[in-house]
Structure 1
Amino acid sequence: MMTLDTPKKANTLGDWAYIAVEKHFNKTIKYEAEVLKDKDPEALHQMRVGMRRLRTAATGFAPALDLPPAAQERQIGKIARILGVLRDLDVLKEALENQYKPALPKSEQKVINIALDYLETKRSGAFKQVKKTLEEKSNYQKMKQGFQDWFKEPKYQVTAQLPILEVLPDLLLPEVSEFLLHPGWLVGVESEESGIRPRENLDHQAVEEQLNQQGEMLHDLRKQAKRVRYQMELFTDFYGETFAAYCQDVKKVQEVLGNIQDSMVLGEFLTEAWRTEKAKLPEKLSKELAETRYQAWQEWQVLQARYLNFSVRQGFHKEVLEPQGLPD
């Protein structure tokens, strides 16, 4: 495989691959010590985001990169998932303590305390796993060393020498196309002569039925939105305001579907926690969770209608096809 020096002004696919991988690798390891102290949940959040973005860079630039086995996308993904288990529990804890518990009558708050105790037990086990993962001689340390060795003497595929402006659309379009073709866009739609559009005026029960039947598909669309967003954000300097607007749309899809998923996960977790104590589901909390999903569904339908529009999808493709040079 070829090697390639990264010049001060990055022009090639390999140059930008190096920049992206180095940036997100450094962000990832920056928070390692704080994560092990387990004092600030934000450190874990930032490290997890760093790992996700590093994985996106390794995947998105795969045609250009020749990374060592320990630094491959699969290894990054395994570590990110372990961090993710702990982070998800922190998100649940924050929602229970700051969003839902204050909204409940005191008669129902004791059930939240049961769930919080159960959560702490699970969190203790998840943190032990994270600590073990970040220890010496772990796959994480091997991955870290693999990247550090690569930075000293980077190796590339032959396509790394291609000009970035010429290949950028080829790099972005596969992920964008997978996003736009995802079957999640067709959850809760109806067909008419004028085309496909979201079903209007669904009540709370109908929304819950849709989510129970096809919530996993929407969750998968959320994950694809995250991948597209991370990859697009690597290249905002090459595009203008329209590209930035599409990037914001993708971020909004991720956030709205994330709110739906988080509410569903929280409901499942609470049910699991309360079964251990034979507690009953608080009526007000159940309604609060359902209302969160219902409001997020309304936001989702606006985005859904926009991206079921052919001209919007076509505009997205056209924008990706026309990168500009970096400003002087």
Structure 2
Amino acid sequence: MESMEPVASPPSLPPSVPSVDSQTVDSQTVNSQTADSQADPAQASSNLTNSNLTNSNLTNSNLANSNLANSNLIDTPLPEASPPPTTLNTTLNTLADVVQPHLLTNLKHLNKYEEAVLKGFEVEDLHDLRVTWRQLRVILQMLAPVLALSKPKLLKNLQTVTTVIGGIRDTDVLLEQSNHLRSQFLSLPEQLFLAKVTDQLTQQRAKHLKKIQKMLLATRHDRLKQHLHQALTQACDRPVIQQPAIALVPELLSPHWAALWLHPGWWVELPLPAAIDPIDPTAIEPIDHSTIRTVTAPSLAAAFHTLHDLRKAIKRVRYEITFFKALYPRPVLTAIEPLKALQGKLGDLQDTVVLMTYFDQRLKPKQKRRFTQLNALLDQQLQTQWQKLQIDRATCLDITYRTELRQWLFQPQG
């Protein structure tokens, strides 16, 4: 008996394609609807009318919804525009865009500080005025290659102003230190000497204030500021200053940066022992060679002068870097903190040396030998300050710190 072959079932169609039976049913349905329509024309017309009304209502509803949506769009306030960026887009700004507004702002600050000084001659106002003038002078020296300053004597006149205003700073420091020493345990002759020194310094300060007042009120000083404003306003005509700021700033920082790290003050050594413990004035033995006399010796005087010049070199570099701090992605003041700390300690050392020199010029030889307590206090102060700055000097001379700081400063990112 032959086996029967199974009958293959027809392949199923995709869901989107109707089958034949389905098409037949749909055709019958259409024919039925057509027949009904032909059988009852009135009913068909009624259905058509109802359909049109329904479509009309739907259209009106859509229009109403559309009008409501448009009304909501009108009543809804637009989102506020984001404020313009406050940081400087240094990749597109020229050096003139960065420099000119900053310098003109400094001139406005000078006028404000001068008005405050003329009102009360407060120490803080004098400090702000002195620092602002010195910063302006340093920045103009740095920008000299790119600024077309028409007045050759402009920088020289600026130096005269800073010298006059800076003269009172040493007097204030001497007064402060002398008053501090008077509060220490000193002999009666030493106390009388310091009282005399304080009176002399007070009179000297009054003379400095009169000199500063005369300079600030002089017509020549007003002309200097007018020339400065005019020069800075017209100083951006040269093609070089129209170049991108990030391309020129490394070149402007290079001269004083190199001078700082090649300065001989980094390797100065003083013949001073380690800092001693707090002094017991009753146990001090008379000394033949006073500290006051020692610091004025030619060899030590030259060493202190070199250290003081190193301090000024650090200050110049700090002023220049701070002037361009907006060009860097992180706070520049944090990166140069070790330099700032060393500058401060060198300043303290210099103040002590100035005080000792001032005393040496006013003490007789017998007094220099007899003032044992005063010599001991100054000796301890000098030694302690010298020891403290060694830590900051070592930090700044660290090769890793110097390399990272140099790479960062000479690649401004904006």
- The residue aligned with 1:291 is 380
Alpha-carbon shift at residue 71 of structure 1 (Å): 7.4
Pairwise CA RMSD of aligned residues? 3.0
Overall identity of the aligned pairs, in % = 28
Structure (1 or 2) with the larger CA radius of gyration: 2
Residue from 76, 94, 97 that aligns with 2:158: 76
- CA distance in 2: counterparts of 1:231 and 1:241, whole angstroms: 16
Q: Mark the CA change 1:249 to 1:240 in structure 2 (over 3 Å): closer, same or farther.
A: farther
TM-score normalised by length of structure 1: 0.82
**Secondary structure class of the residue paired with 2:146:** coil
- The residue aligned with 2:395 is 306
**Secondary structure class of the residue paired with 2:336:** helix
Letter in 2 for 1:291: Q
- The residue aligned with 2:250 is 169
Letter in 1 for 2:133: M
Which deviates the most, 174-183 or 142-151? 142-151
**Secondary structure class of the residue paired with 1:67:** coil
Q: Mark the CA change 1:246 to 1:71 in structure 2 (over 3 Å): closer, same or farther.
A: farther
- The residue aligned with 2:219 is 137
Letter in 1 for 2:262: L
Residue from 101, 116, 123 that aligns with 2:182: 101
Aligned 1:50-61 pairs, distance under 5 A: 50-61=132-143
**Secondary structure class of the residue paired with 1:104:** coil
Alpha-carbon shift at residue 45 of structure 1 (Å): 1.0
Number of matched residues? 305
Q: Residue 111 of structure 1 contacts residue 282 of structure 1 at CA under 8 Å; is this kept in 2?
A: no
Is 1:229 matched with 2:318? yes
Which deviates the most, 219-228 or 29-38? 29-38
Cα deviations by residue, 1:25-74 (Å, 9 ceiling, x for unpaired): 22222121332345412111111011011112211222332234177222
**Secondary structure class of the residue paired with 1:120:** helix
- CA distance in 1: counterparts of 2:132 and 2:164, whole angstroms: 14
Aligned 1:21-60 pairs, distance under 5 A: 21-60=103-142
- The residue aligned with 1:195 is none
Residue from 234, 249, 265 that aligns with 2:354: 265
Alpha-carbon shift at residue 153 of structure 1 (Å): 4.6
- CA distance in 1: counterparts of 2:334 and 2:114, whole angstroms: 33
Alpha-carbon shift at residue 269 of structure 1 (Å): 1.4
- CA distance in 1: counterparts of 2:217 and 2:185, whole angstroms: 41
Q: Mark the CA change 1:53 to 1:69 in structure 2 (over 3 Å): closer, same or farther.
A: same
Letter in 1 for 2:216: L
Structure 2 spans left out of the alignment, 5+ residues: 1-87, 277-290
TM-score normalised by length of structure 2: 0.66
Cα deviations by residue, 1:142-171 (Å, 9 ceiling, x for unpaired): 211112334555544321111111222112
- CA distance in 1: counterparts of 2:378 and 2:227, whole angstroms: 44
- CA distance in 1: counterparts of 2:229 and 2:153, whole angstroms: 10
